Amino acid sequence: MENPPPGQTSKSSTGLDENIAALLSYVFGWISGLVFFLIEKDSRLVRFHAMQSIILSGGFIILMIVLGIASTVLGLIFGYISGLLATLVGLLTWLLMMAVGVGALVGWVMCLIKAYNKEFFKLPLIGNYAEKFSAK
């Protein structure tokens, strides 16, 4: 996807500037992404960032739920073997969840900045899906 010429301000069908609408699609995660995806009719930039917001925040929520369930199950299993093993597994899954959270936060902030600058910034793994689904 190509970036628009610098300094060009264009409006989205929401009445907001494209970059503001694209930025706002990330603010409340999948909820704001879904709202902007459904109401935006003209701007490819806004639709792309709205879909990327939906996938990013939705994927993060699902991944954290899966990690939480896995942590609980592994903690119970290893708890029967040894309290020390259960503690170690709990610590490792907590560290993994923190790393995922920090990665999601960094990705979210990068997306906010890129959306405000009117850039079609694709996150690894999900950017191509966002482009594909927003083009429809």
Higher-pLDDT residue of 3 and 51 is 51
Query: Does residue 129 form part of some domain?
Result: yes
Q: What is the pLDDT of residue 135?
A: 83
Residues making up the chain, counted from first to last: 136
What was the pLDDT predicted at 69? 94
Mean pLDDT in residue range 32-50: 93
How far apart (Å, rounded) are the C-alpha atoms in residues 102 and 105?
Answer: 5
Quote the pLDDT of residue 8: 56
* Residue at 61 is within a domain: yes
Q: Is residue 7 part of a domain?
A: no
CA distances from 4 to 7, 39, 48 (A): 9, 22, 14
SS3 27: helix
Could you tell me if residue 10 is inside a domain? no
Residue 17 tokens read as 């500037």
Residue 11: strand, helix, or coil: strand
Torsion of CA 121, 129, 35, 43, to 10 degrees: 60
Check whether 6 has a pLDDT greater than 60. no
The domain total for the chain is: 1
Can you tell me the distance from the alpha carbon of 76 to that of 78, in angstroms, rounded to the nearest whole number?
A: 6
Q: Which pLDDT score, from 0 to 100, does residue 100 have?
A: 94
Residue 117: which domain range?
18-36+43-134
What backbone torsions phi and psi does residue 125 show, to the nearest 5 degrees?
Answer: 75, -45
- Report residue 67's pLDDT band, with 50, 70 and 90 as the boundaries: very high
Q: What is the pLDDT of residue 11?
A: 81
**What residues pair up with 11 in beta bridges, in sequence order?**
17
Q: In sequence order, which residues have a C-beta less than 8 Å from that of residue 84 and are 6 or more positions away?
A: none
The answer as to whether 31 is a domain residue is yes
* HSE of 97, CA atoms in CB hemisphere, 13 A: 18
Spatial CA neighbour of 114 closest among 123, 102, 126:
123
